[in-house]
Amino acid sequence: MTEIDLLVRAEFLYPMSEGLPIISDGEVAIAGGRILHAGPRQPEGTWQAQRVLRGEGRAVLPGFVNCHSHAASLIFRSQTDDHAAKAALLEVAFRMEKDIAEEEWALLAEAGCADMLCSGITTINDIWYAPDRLAETVERCGLRAQIAHKVFDVRLHELWRGDYTHHAEIGETRLKDGVAFAERWHGTASGRISARIGTHATDTCSAGLLREARGEANRLGVGMHIHAAQSLGETEQIRAEHGCGPLEFLRDVGMLAPDVVLAHLVFAGAGDLDAVQESGAAYAHCPTIYPRRGRYPPLDDILARGIPTGFATDWMMNDPFEGMRNALNAMRLRLGDPNALSCAQALQLHTMGAARVLGLDAEIGSLDTGKKADLIAVDIDRPHLQPYYGGYAALVYYARASDVVTSVIDGQIVLEDARPTRLDRDRAIATLRGRVPGWRARLAALGSRAVFGPGCPCCG
């Protein structure tokens, strides 16, 4: 009999290991935060577990890895979904961000982390404001995270006017703060928290700032994170300023490398993808956001090139199942081929694929012996999942984030009965709701067309 900390049983086990097996009546044995066994249920008496989680009505799989996120961005939920995203981002979001107080970002980070946990996400790669507040929440709630401070040298709140003037003093201050954050937090929380240098985007960072940021990342031994070829405006600005595509620009300034996470690539041309492929840089694909914007990235070409690729949520819609379905539907419609992407491939891209993007595939992303014990359990006894036959399509096409009932990270239960064990979700939501009238009024004053209620122009 082997003494273990936790035994997680499963009616269906999806280890996402080589060959992508599905195991009925499976179990995962955990000790010291790592997996001792993930496979068929062993004979009674094999394990002496401090705790056993029942397997009836449960599908168990690796926790979702979210390789590009903005946990605290939910303040802008619904603001860019039903009209021109460019206008909403530049005229509303970017202009409001500068006036949000650090205590507001702290509250939003707490609510965002609760959202991630409740959705089955166990690892995030986040780039945003007030990273210390996010790191504090991550440390407390048990998430695994790579975090970057948002570095740029333009006045984001002036982009709506078309002002792309680079200001050295802005870049110097923001890079200094990003480096200081990395020095404080990299490797903390027993290794659950690591840092990146987060240059915001190709059009909001000058060539000089990108080179300096690359140098600091090299000195610190951390990776980088950037939005690239996200919008037509960005690609046009880079081409006008530098005569090339956004990824070609990053290559030319010496930034691209295997430790760089590139989000979006929606408007990446062939030359851009050549630059990514040659550099070994990795790609964070955010399938929920693209259909809303009316343009889908060339995911088929990116995968065919062997560019390391993983799925992510971007901002506000943190439902990995919704994201996988968006990717499946978009790819099949885009290529006119029902076999363009399989459910097993989609799940792999949100687990092992995303872990590889973050350089964590040796430790997480699959339930293999010796890896860190990051896993989730899904309640498959829900009416919308019945009858549950156990194939990948049963899980990927029909499950929802709200079906996740348990999350384990580093062998510790951080979500139980669909509630975070280390965050007071109800208190966080109640506090956040108290701020909504003020946020609504500020959004309305900036011209948001997606607010309704006291303080908005239509309601007085």
Domains of the chain: 2-62+368-420 (2.30.40.10), 64-357 (3.20.20.140)
Q: Yes or no: say if 146 and 124 are a contact pair by the CB < 8 Å rule.
A: yes
Task: Tell me the chain's radius of gyration from C-alpha atoms.
Answer: 22
Q: Which of 144, 62, 113, 66 has its CA nearest to residue 357? A: 66
The count of C-alpha atoms lying within 13 angstroms of the C-alpha of 113, restricted to the half-sphere facing its C-beta, is 29
Cα distance between residue 178 and residue 355, in whole Å: 23
Cα distance between residue 291 and residue 357, in whole Å: 23
Q: In the beta sheet, which residues pair with residue 283? A: 262, 309
State the pLDDT at residue 232.
Answer: 93
State the pLDDT at residue 73.
Answer: 94
Six-digit token pair at 406? 């348990």
State the pLDDT at residue 85.
Answer: 64
Report long-range pairs for 359-362 (Cβ below 8 Å, ≥24 apart): 359/223, 359/258, 359/259, 360/65, 360/123
Q: Yes or no: say if 285 and 297 are a contact pair by the CB < 8 Å rule.
A: yes
State the pLDDT at residue 318.
Answer: 95
Cα distance between residue 304 and residue 299, in whole Å: 8
Side chain identity at residue 397, one-letter code: Y
Q: How far is CA 237 from CA 157, 270, 315, 452, in A?
A: 17, 18, 24, 34
Q: How far is CA 53 from CA 10, 58, 415, in A?
A: 9, 10, 13
- pLDDT < 70 regions, the chain: 83-86, 453-460
Please tell me whether the peptide bond between 40 and the residue prior to it is cis, using omega within 30 degrees of 0: no
User: Which residues 6+ apart lie within 8 Å of 380 measured at CB?
Assistant: 11, 12, 57, 58, 59, 388, 394, 395, 399, 403
User: Which residues 6+ apart lie within 8 Å of 360 measured at CB?
Assistant: 65, 123
Six-digit token pair at 207? 């060539």
State the pLDDT at residue 459.
Answer: 56
User: Which residues 6+ apart lie within 8 Å of 12 measured at CB?
Assistant: 22, 23, 24, 26, 58, 59, 60, 380, 388, 390, 395
Q: Which of 173, 177, 104, 116 has its CA nearest to residue 142? A: 116
pLDDT, tens digit, 9 for 90 and up, residues 380-428: 999 999 999 999 999 999 999 999 999 999 999 999 999 999 999 999 9
Q: Yes or no: say if 406 and 122 are a contact pair by the CB < 8 Å rule.
A: no
Cα distance between residue 281 and residue 196, in whole Å: 14
The residue ranges of DSSP E strands in 203-315, in sequence order, are 223-228, 260-264, 282-285, 309-311
Q: In the beta sheet, which residues pair with residue 147? A: 126, 195
